[in-house]
Amino acid sequence: MIAACRSCGSDDIRPVLSLGSAPLANRLPSLDASGPPDPRYPLDLCVCAACSLAQLSDTVPPEVLFHDYPYLSSFSDTMIEHARGLAAMLIQRCSLDANTLVLEIGSNDGYLLQHFAAAGIPVLGIDPARDASDHAKRRGVPTRQLFFGAATADGLIREGIRPRVIVANNVLAHVPDVNDVVSGVRRLLSPDGVFVIETPYIRDLIDGLEFDTIYHEHVFYYSFTALARLLARHDLMPIDVDRVSIHGGSIRTIARAGASRSDAAERVLQEETEWGACAQETYANLAWRIAARCRELRDLLLTRKRAGRRLAAYGAAAKGVMLLHALGAGHDVLDFVVDRSPRKQGRRMPGADVPILAPAELLVQMPDDVLLLTWNLRAEILEQQAEYRRRGGTFIIPLPELQIV
């Protein structure tokens, strides 16, 4: 276990749950069975009693996690529309024009910055993943293949780069040295600039039992309380906060240097106090709730399998890898997994050893049941697979509530 909180430095770290030795969720191996065994690392969750930040006990080096990174945001219609709405809101709210710069940390394939660029607003993406950066450049989004931190910020400042807006969507959960990243943001922002953060929300994780979002890339699991304390240490104050539905439930925070905390921020802090963001009891029963859901879901899948039904799954996403790991489910349960991303097709699910195929295979092979691993994109995928369902196919939705549709 870590000796101190990665955010505030307190040594009062309390264990919450262990998911054992787990595969890397976005390390999708080839189908070649002669390759090395899938690497596994401890996956244990703890919480800091001082600042209430939930975090992993162990860290996998970012270079291992993000060098060959198969996740591309643009393969989700839901993500593209979410990004379009965020860009439109920020353009209006921050009076962005051809003389202002938007910089995104962890910009992936340019799924967000493309909307600013289309409006004539200068953009710059920062992302360590080679494939994602190359996709963004082909889309016309200037991107540098770098990890972001204080040193990167200082280099950009020397070039005269001072963004009006810095965006970090699903980034602060991923970076072990989070103070280095936020310090870099504080130094790089223009005097009138804002820092926009979206990150999965631990209240949704706990209330909705979204345990499959716990994996090695997600070092941190933020409450707004923990996030506000992190920002305050770097003289960044929340001037707005909202809950958004993306990724099964996230919080969006807008912060500015030297500002006063907004009424909206105070309201959410009070709501979290009442919910128990700082109370150990809030986290205490998570482990047995997860175990109970896994038993329920595995029993359902095995019962249907024994009845002669053929099972597949949809979504070779990180959460899918973790759900199969928690269930201990592989070829004994599933014939194959499908995913829209050609980058993932022809590989296999780590740990589960199940091949990843194109979604068209659902109509070719017509499995009786499809376990929806990317349940957070439920509406989008059910609409895309209307023909499969019309032919009698069934989807099993594992979370937040177990459903068959």
Please tell me the predicted confidence (pLDDT) of residue 63. Answer: 74
Same domain? 95 vs 132 = yes
Rounded to an integer, what distance in angstroms lies between the CA atom of residue 273 and that of residue 211? 22
Same domain? 178 vs 110 = yes
Place of tokens 């804002």: 194
In a domain, 334, yes or no: yes
Same domain? 173 vs 91 = yes
Same domain? 270 vs 373 = no
Same domain? 207 vs 93 = yes
Please tell me the predicted confidence (pLDDT) of residue 64. Answer: 78
Same domain? 261 vs 315 = no
How far apart, in Å, are the Cα atoms of 78 and each of 81, 218, 398? Answer: 5, 21, 19
**Cis before 400? omega within 30:** yes
Going by C-alpha positions, the residue among 305, 306, 323 that lies closest to residue 314 is 323
Whole-model pTM over 0.85:
yes
Using the 3D structure, point to which of 261, 284, 307 is the last residue of a domain.
284
In a domain, 50, yes or no: no
What strands lie across the sheet with 13-23, from one edge to the other?
Answer: 13-23, 40-48, 54-56, 220-221
Note down the domain range covering 238. 73-284
In a domain, 178, yes or no: yes
Instruction: From first to last of the 405 residues of the chain, give the pLDDT tens digit.
Output: 799 999 999 999 999 999 999 999 888 888 876 667 888 999 999 999 999 999 999 988 877 776 566 666 666 788 889 999 999 999 999 999 999 999 999 999 999 999 999 999 999 999 988 888 998 999 999 999 999 999 999 999 999 999 999 999 999 999 999 999 999 999 999 999 999 999 999 999 999 999 999 999 999 999 999 999 999 999 999 999 999 988 889 999 999 998 889 999 999 999 999 999 999 899 988 999 999 999 999 999 999 999 999 999 999 999 999 999 999 999 999 999 999 999 899 999 998 989 999 999 999 999 999 999 999 999 999 999 999 999 999 999 999 999 999
The residues near 254 (Cβ < 8 Å, ≥ 6 apart) are 194, 195, 196, 197, 238, 239, 240, 241
Same domain? 153 vs 256 = yes
Same domain? 257 vs 389 = no
> Domain holding 223: CATH number?
3.40.50.150
Report CA 318 to chain centroid distance, whole Å: 8
Same domain? 205 vs 337 = no
Count the residues in the chain.
405
Same domain? 265 vs 307 = no
Domain count, the chain: 2
Alpha helical stretches, state H, 200-317: 202-208, 224-232, 263-275, 281-284, 286-306
Please tell me the predicted confidence (pLDDT) of residue 368. Answer: 98
